[in-house]
Structure 1
Amino acid sequence: MPLIWIILAVLALGSVGYVLGRWRAVSSAGGDIRVLHSLPNYYGMNVFLTSVVPALLVMVVWLLVQPAIIQRQVTQLIPSDAAQSAGELSLIMTDVRRVADGLDLAVEQGGMTGDEARDLQADTADVRELLGEIGVALGNDVSADVLAAAQSYRTLQNTGIALMAAAVLILAALGLGYAYSRTHKDFRARNTVERAVLSILILASTIAILTTVGIVLSMVLETRDFFHLYPAREFFFGTEWIPSFEGGSHLGLLPLLWGTLYITFIALLVAVPVGLFSAIYLAEYAGRRLRGFAKPMIEVLAGIPTIVYGLFALITVGPMLRDYFAQPLGLGTSSSSVMTAGIVMGIMLIPFVSSLSDDIINSVPQSLRDGSYGLGATQSETVKQVILPAALPGIMGAVLLAASRAIGETMIVVMGAGAAATLSLNPFEAMTTVTVKIVGQLTGDTDFSSPEALVAFALGLTLFAITLGLNILALYIVRKYREEYE
């Protein structure tokens, strides 16, 4: 049964429970809702939540646990001599999942029955032809071990989904019956519903926190494995980035970190003055008609896909900087450069700085402006000496958001700055960033037992540490100036 059908069935049961619970509460009060402890909708909502929430929670937990159980059982079917390392086992399991998906697709498209997919013999031309017809292209022949594992994988997966559907629907029905049996005029439905909603809110907050913890732990654990294979000193202080999956790699962080910070610095030099000055003008000087036109036009920049900015850097900005600045000054001959990526990224960041700063400046109390004007200050003096200092904490937050956005950008760097990991002060020279190399190291079939693949997690953890440091610095600045103006 498709997952969406299970969810719709559970919601349908909950909706029926809502109607029945509301009707039973009103009936127990003889039709007089004034006798009820709570409003009728609370009784219906109590039945709905009791039916839906536990069932959906079980479904989520099931979907999280089932893949790990199936993976453990299927890997036991793969001979030990076929997978000498964890990386080879990962590649084989990728083929197993693709073949299993192909068999499921063949059943769905009517190419064969479920029994035929289960009984299909390995290493035949029919297997290869079938997988080719349904678009499951493998780089090698389908071996007997892979096909047997795929058939087992498909069987276990379908069985697990069927059991999950039965368990979820039975639990939803039991929840409906239990909540319906408790519904009467004296039942404190409002209190129960409010506690349930509060629990859902706490659960959502907990999931957000646990997700962050999970992301950090995943990077930390993989980074630990990387440092078991590659010296940490050479990673943090190495000045060469020459990865090679055949061995002898030089995985120095400094060239990537320098390119990231250099491009981010140029982007902020473009975005912060332009964005901040436009925000000041729109908030303090522009008329209502001009503001209503200019602010949406600036915010349109935030909706442009980054690939479009990358094409703009590649086709327009890069050649222009090369022809009019780099070549005449003897600084370079390439259209891919730090300056190209920095300028285009700065244009992309303008709406982040402008819109947030504009909202922050408008939130400054009017009483501060009136007091400044009452003391004889001009509008420009009021903006410089009153409004900007009062709005400084929020403006720092806007700049931090822009910096974080610039540090994590990839597409503009790929198309505008190139992929050369170098240490140079020349802004018209091609460089690269940490995010670009993370993508490069994890592209294609990757052996996660090699340092050349695991280095991506070390790079990701480094970016996380940099962003965390920026947050701490921003909080310090915000706290300092808030104490002055509160």
Structure 2
Amino acid sequence: MSSSLLIALILLLSLLAYWLGCRRAVTLAQRPSADKLHSRPGYYGVLAGLWCGLPALLIVAVWHLAADPLLTRMAMHGVAAAKGVASPDQVDLLVNDMRNLVAGNVVAHEVDPLIQAAADQYVGLQRLGDLALAAVALATALGGAYVLLGRIRPALRARNQVERIVEIVLTLCSTFAVFVTVGIVLSVLFESIRFFQQIAPADFLFGLKWSPQMAIRADQAGSSGSFGAIPVLTGTFLISGIAMAIAVPLGLMSAIYLSEYAGPRFRAVVKPLLEILAGVPTVVYGFFAALVVAPAIRDLGGLAGLSVASESALAAGLVMGIMIIPFVSSLSDDVINAVPQSLRDGSYGLGATKSETIKLVVLPAALPGIVGSILLAVSRAIGETMIVVMAAGLAANLTFNPLQAVTTVTVQIVTLLVGDQEFDSPKTLAAFALGMLLFVVTLALNVAALYVVRKYREEYE
């Protein structure tokens, strides 16, 4: 039985348990001598559905996490010894060959009989495991539903138990998110430390030349590599600055118009249309920048006698700014609408005009949220990759001229990790150092946003 079918059956049994739990609770409440139900019938149904579905889904999840290592060990037991292989790397190659046979990715004309036998055993164990998993999971679901339905009484605190289960699930989810974040940071940090063991941190943070191409082996001819991050950071901030110069005024003014001046019908039409920009894939923006904006800027620059590169920071920044407008506009619009109407009425009562009310009352009251939306848009601009690759190029030029080609941190990370790489080389490890640097920059932006929000926060009744 496939996993999707098994999960679908478990969910159907959970729905059935929910319906039976609600029906049993209603039946008990309708008895002449019955006590009053502690909770609403829906809580009894939800509790029955949770008892039915959660243990079974937990069994399925645990099996899928442990199945492949367990079945691989059972199938490959004795194969390495039979072939006289002792090195862990050689054992991993044998395991990889077996997995390719299981997946049907046969690249060789002659298959080792031992590996073929191991693959056949793996497939057989996998089928047996799937059948056993289906039996155990369905039996657990039915057993959990049966036990809970038998426990339903008017005095059963179903609502308290449901809320407790939901609280535990939410706690586990939040804990998992925290551990994932810590794992990401540590994985990048450890590789960055390996990089800084080969390249001095001062050379990386303050170097003025970025050229990570270098020889991987001693018998190769290649550059020694230069890993100064200043040109990469300069390109990142240059493109992000151009983007924010476009996105912040347009986004903020559109938010003010939609929230303070536009009528309900106009707002209902224009606001969704504006937010459609946030749903356009970045590769589409990249095509637009490379095929329309960049040639137009080059032609206009030629008419003005300026030297404009075919790929420029200005083209990438303009298109990126258009892409970020919905982030500033939508969030700022929500923040401005959250300002109490009583503040506007008080300003009007004192004789202020509409524009004076917006400038002197509404915007100061909404300032923390507006700053937060702007910093969120800045983080989005710093992390953009596709538009920069297609419109700004890959050249790490240390320049503040928006008409020249530049590159960004994210583009260099992608470039360094494309293709077959040696993870002991500073060239590859530089991607993790750039990732850590980008993480520190975005973290500083978030800290600044929290500081602004806390410093200027206003609470209204």
- Measured against the shorter chain, the TM-score band is 0.7 to 0.9
| Partner-residue secondary structure (3-state), 1:186 | coil
Whichever residue aligns with residue 428 of structure 1, its letter is L
Q: Percent identity?
A: 50
Whichever residue aligns with residue 397 of structure 1, its letter is G
More off after superposition, 48-57 vs 295-304:
295-304
Q: Distance in 2 between matches of 1:94 and 1:249?
A: 34
Q: Distance in 2 between matches of 1:93 and 1:441?
A: 29
> 2:174 aligned with 1:205, yes or no?
yes
> 2:166 aligned with 1:191, yes or no?
no
Question: Is the CA contact (8 Å cut-off) linking 1:123 and 1:144 kept in structure 2?
Answer: no
> Partner residue of 1:13?
13
User: Are the structure 2 counterparts of residues 8 and 355 from structure 1 closer, same or farther at C-alpha, using a change threshold of 3 Å?
Assistant: same
TM-score, normalisation: structure 1: 0.81
> Partner residue of 1:313?
289
> Partner residue of 1:355?
330
Q: Distance in 2 between matches of 1:41 and 1:292?
A: 36
Q: Distance in 1 between matches of 2:324 and 2:54?
A: 41
User: Are the structure 2 counterparts of residues 43 and 369 from structure 1 closer, same or farther at C-alpha, using a change threshold of 3 Å?
Assistant: closer
Question: Is the CA contact (8 Å cut-off) linking 1:243 and 1:251 kept in structure 2?
Answer: no
Deviation at 1:269, TM superposition (A): 0.7
> 2:429 aligned with 1:470, yes or no?
no
Which one of 226, 234, 242 corresponds to residue 212 of structure 2? Answer: 242
> Partner residue of 1:38?
39
RMSD: 3.4
Question: Is the CA contact (8 Å cut-off) linking 1:390 and 1:485 kept in structure 2?
Answer: no
Which one of 428, 445, 455 corresponds to residue 480 of structure 1? Answer: 455
User: Are the structure 2 counterparts of residues 393 and 322 from structure 1 closer, same or farther at C-alpha, using a change threshold of 3 Å?
Assistant: same
Whichever residue aligns with residue 255 of structure 1, its letter is P
| Partner-residue secondary structure (3-state), 2:11 | helix
Deviation at 1:466, TM superposition (A): 1.1
User: Are the structure 2 counterparts of residues 172 and 219 from structure 1 closer, same or farther at C-alpha, using a change threshold of 3 Å?
Assistant: farther
Unpaired runs of at least 5, structure 1:
104-119, 128-142
Deviation at 1:319, TM superposition (A): 0.7
> 2:93 aligned with 1:124, yes or no?
no
> Partner residue of 1:284?
260
User: Are the structure 2 counterparts of residues 9 and 326 from structure 1 closer, same or farther at C-alpha, using a change threshold of 3 Å?
Assistant: same
Q: Which runs of structure 2 are paired with 1:88-103 in the superposition (5 Å)?
A: 97-102=99-104
| Partner-residue secondary structure (3-state), 2:311 | coil
Deviation at 1:410, TM superposition (A): 1.0
Q: Distance in 2 between matches of 1:20 and 1:276?
A: 53
Q: Distance in 1 between matches of 2:266 and 2:29?
A: 61
Deviations 1:61-99 (A, max 9, x none): 333344555677889967466948xxx96x887666444
Deviation at 1:432, TM superposition (A): 1.3
Deviation at 1:429, TM superposition (A): 1.2
TM-score, normalisation: structure 2: 0.84
Q: Which runs of structure 2 are paired with 1:253-272 in the superposition (5 Å)?
A: 253-272=229-248
Q: Distance in 2 between matches of 1:56 and 1:201?
A: 16
More off after superposition, 244-253 vs 70-79:
70-79
More off after superposition, 251-260 vs 425-434:
251-260
User: Are the structure 2 counterparts of residues 182 and 384 from structure 1 closer, same or farther at C-alpha, using a change threshold of 3 Å?
Assistant: same
User: Are the structure 2 counterparts of residues 290 and 200 from structure 1 closer, same or farther at C-alpha, using a change threshold of 3 Å?
Assistant: same
Question: Is the CA contact (8 Å cut-off) linking 1:272 and 1:353 kept in structure 2?
Answer: yes
More off after superposition, 260-269 vs 56-65:
56-65
Deviation at 1:214, TM superposition (A): 2.7
Question: Is the CA contact (8 Å cut-off) linking 2:210 and 2:232 kept in structure 1?
Answer: no
Q: Distance in 1 between matches of 2:304 and 2:320?
A: 24
Question: Is the CA contact (8 Å cut-off) linking 1:241 and 1:255 kept in structure 2?
Answer: no
Q: Distance in 1 between matches of 2:245 and 2:266?
A: 26
Deviation at 1:210, TM superposition (A): 2.7
User: Are the structure 2 counterparts of residues 351 and 415 from structure 1 closer, same or farther at C-alpha, using a change threshold of 3 Å?
Assistant: same
Deviation at 1:27, TM superposition (A): 5.5
Q: Distance in 2 between matches of 1:335 and 1:163?
A: 62
User: Are the structure 2 counterparts of residues 293 and 92 from structure 1 closer, same or farther at C-alpha, using a change threshold of 3 Å?
Assistant: farther
Q: Which runs of structure 2 are paired with 1:68-87 in the superposition (5 Å)?
A: 79=85, 83=89
Unpaired runs of at least 5, structure 2:
218-223
Q: Distance in 2 between matches of 1:227 and 1:476?
A: 31
Deviations 1:159-189 (A, max 9, x none): 5545544443333233223323323343332
Deviation at 1:452, TM superposition (A): 3.0
> 2:190 aligned with 1:221, yes or no?
yes
Q: Which runs of structure 2 are paired with 1:290-309 in the superposition (5 Å)?
A: 290-309=266-285
User: Are the structure 2 counterparts of residues 301 and 15 from structure 1 closer, same or farther at C-alpha, using a change threshold of 3 Å?
Assistant: closer
Deviations 1:284-320 (A, max 9, x none): 2334444344333322222222111111111111011
Whichever residue aligns with residue 176 of structure 1, its letter is A
Q: Distance in 1 between matches of 2:189 and 2:124?
A: 35
User: Are the structure 2 counterparts of residues 149 and 466 from structure 1 closer, same or farther at C-alpha, using a change threshold of 3 Å?
Assistant: farther
How many residue pairs get aligned? The number is 448
Q: Distance in 2 between matches of 1:54 and 1:253?
A: 51
